[in-house]
Amino acid sequence: MDLSLFVWRQQAPDVQGEMVAYSAKGISEDMSFLEMLDVVNEGLISNGEVPIAFDHDCREGICGTCSQVINGVPHGPMERTTVCQLHMRNFKDGDTIFIEPLRAKAFPILKDLIVDRGALDRIIQEGGYISVHTGGVPDANSVLISRKDAETAMDASECIGCGACVAACPNGSAMLFTASKVSHLAALPQGKIEADQRVRSMTNAMKKEQFGNCSNHYECNAVCPKGVKISFIAKLNREFIKSMISGDSSD
Amino acid sequence: MLLIRSSVGRKIIMAVTGQLMVLFVILHVAGNMTIYFDLINAYAEKLHAFPPIVWSYRIIMITVVLTHIVFGLILKIENLLSNPHGYVIKQSIRKTFASETMIWSGAFIALFIVYHLFHFTVQSINPELSARLNTDAMGRPDVMNMLVGNFQIASIGLFYVSGMIALLLHLSHGVQSSFQTLGLNSEKSIPIIVKAGKLAAFLIFVAYVSIPILIMVGLMDL
Ligand code: HEM
Ligand code: FES
């Protein structure tokens, strides 16, 4: 199939970018969206032009590197699918496709479709850890966890940190991301020790990194490639209230 | 203080003040319903019988409303700054007209509250209809006369209806949002709370607008 593309091209962080038109010819419906871009880039390179810069790594939907905003939706039209897992059979011959980077104050554009998502890492650094004894490997099942808690923690830990939630949020908020990390560890006995401190530090980091506040629009969940649930945002809020009541009030 | 500085803390302030106002709005409209039993003058008189209670109530409500407005503005400004989006194309999937326009429905409600207070509390708008100046046969302030006289003026009736449309919009997002903010939600309860919030907003709306509308169309008279 043949497609017309409009792709955001921006040479450097401080340079004004713009949408540039390209055509993608002879695309197979079995290709992934990234493979389609590879074909376009090969064409650009053979014409001596600068290829479109985009992030990617695993290409199997688990690393969260490949976020792009396709026709106004982070990760494009397929629900619960990353860009690398989005197949061209979801498009028709002759379609026009708009491709933009994730946009938010906290995600400065580095080049074309690549943004700096380091702000998410800095939120993780504030509390995405637990305290354990180092040394010998503990016996399996030495800490018992109920099936329900294990399931909750697993669901929350599905977040791959791609940043689609931030890009979809009208407020550029990282609540769904932060909520998934806070909920994941708060659900497990190993995470209880730092629970109070964690929810405060991570939500403070969120603010410091200039993410917006959650207005409960729920756009985040609609685009999340892993379908992380908004009930985790309610859980983060509960953890926060708990930490205000029971935590020490030093900060 | 964590509650005031934190993003989540500020949201909790919005939710608590919001729910207090919802409670107020429900008590207020329940009081209004006495009009259908011809008891509005009696109700109004009882309500104001003990000034210290009236004034404590007013001071609490003013504090709540101002707190809600101040933090609503702070959140909105921060959110605008966090999102210089500028997508060439952006599709919304789940957000609603109501959720997007909270600041505008809120601003209109604020305008409405100011007008409403000068109109029916201070009674300095259309003073010739003031309940304080016109008493009924039993010597009570004639609230019924004030309501009917004012709402027979179409522009006033329509302004009250538009104020309530703003409230309808605000609450159709706000009620469910406040439960989520306070953590009173689970995957099962979310769809129920979303629906119940809209239903509550609608019932409150109908109860409020019924009075000016019935008076405007002439079905309710002195
Ligand atoms: C007086 C003028 C008002 C203004 C300027 C205002 C403004 C706002 C804004 C901007 C929000 C959204 C906050 C966010 O994005 O997180 C909000 C939420 C809310 N408002 Fe108002 N509002 C006003 C009056 C009211 C009234 C009269 C009620 C109730 C009767 C109310 C109930 C709520 C509720 C329940 C929420 C949801 C809180 C949450 O998201 O957790 N508001 N308001
Ligand atoms: S490249 Fe790893 S999730 Fe898409």
Over the stretch A70-100, which tens digit does the pLDDT of each residue have?
Answer: 999 999 999 999 999 999 999 999 999 999 9
Do residues B75 and B69 lie in contact, with contact meaning Cβ atoms separated by under 8 Å? no
CA distance B82 to B49: 50
Report the residue of B8, B171, B182 to disrupt the A interface, i.e. the one with the largest count of A CBs within 10 Å: B8
8 Å CB contact of B89 and A98: yes
Quick one: which H or E segment has residue B41?
A: helix B40-47
Instruction: Report if residue B91 sits inside a domain.
Output: no
Q: What are the b/e assignments for B155-187, b being 16+ CB within 10 Å?
A: ebbebbbebbebbbbbbbbbbbbbbbbbbebee
Instruction: Report if residue B66 sits inside a domain.
Output: yes
Count: domains in chain B? 1
Torsional class of A59: left (φ above 0), alpha (ψ -120 to 50), beta (otherwise): left
Which of A98, A168, A210 lies closest to B82 in CB terms? A210
Judge whether residue A249 has pLDDT over 70: no
Question: Which residue, judged by its Cα, is nearest atom 3 of ligand 1?
Answer: B106
Q: Tell me, what's the pLDDT at B85?
A: 66
Judge whether residue A137 has pLDDT over 80: yes
Q: What are the b/e assignments for B107-135, b being 16+ CB within 10 Å?
A: ebbbebeeebeebbeebeeeeebbbeeee
Instruction: Report if residue B86 sits inside a domain.
Output: no
Chain B interface includes A177 (CB < 8 A): no
CA distance B50 to B73: 35
8 Å CB contact of B7 and A214: yes
Q: Tell me, what's the pLDDT at A246?
A: 84
Ligand nearest to the CA of A233: 1
Domain boundaries of chain A, sorted by first residue: 3-111, 117-246
Average pLDDT over chain A reads: 95
Return the residue of B nearest to A68 by Cα. Answer: B87
Return the residue of A nearest to B94 by Cα. Answer: A219
Instruction: Report if residue B221 sits inside a domain.
Output: no
8 Å CB contact of A203 and B186: no
Query: Can you read off the two tokens belonging to residue B42?
Result: 């009696």
Report the residue of A99, A199, A217 to disrupt the B interface, i.e. the one with the largest count of B CBs within 10 Å: A217
Q: What percent of chain A has pLDDT over 70?
A: 98
Query: Can you read off the two tokens belonging to residue B132?
Result: 């304080």
CA distance A228 to A232: 8
Pocket-forming residues, ligand 1, beta carbon under 6 Å: A 213, 215-216; B 11, 14-15, 18-19, 21-22, 25, 65, 68-69, 72, 75-76, 102-103, 106-107, 109-110, 113, 170, 174-175, 177-178, 181
Give the range of the structural domain holding residue B169, as residue numbers without chain letter.
2-81+97-216
Instruction: Report if residue B75 sits inside a domain.
Output: yes
Q: Tell me, what's the pLDDT at A134?
A: 86
Q: What is the pLDDT of residues A212-226, one digit of tens each?
A: 999 999 999 999 999
CA distance B188 to A210: 32
Q: Tell me, what's the pLDDT at B222?
A: 83
- The ligand 2 atom at the shortest distance from the C-alpha of residue A62 is 3
Q: Tell me, what's the pLDDT at A162?
A: 98
Class of CATH domain A117-246: mainly alpha
pTM, two decimal places? 0.94
Q: What is the CATH code for A3-111?
A: 3.10.20.30
Judge whether residue A251 has pLDDT over 90: no
Q: How far is the CA of A85 from the centre of ligand 2 (A)?
A: 8
User: Strands A114-115, A18-24: parallel, antiparallel or unpaired by DSSP?
Assistant: unpaired
Q: Tell me, what's the pLDDT at A142?
A: 87
Q: Mark the ranges of chain B whose per-residue pLDDT is less than 70.
A: 85
8 Å CB contact of B93 and A219: yes
Q: What is the pLDDT of residues B20-45, one digit of tens each?
A: 999 999 999 999 999 999 999 999 99
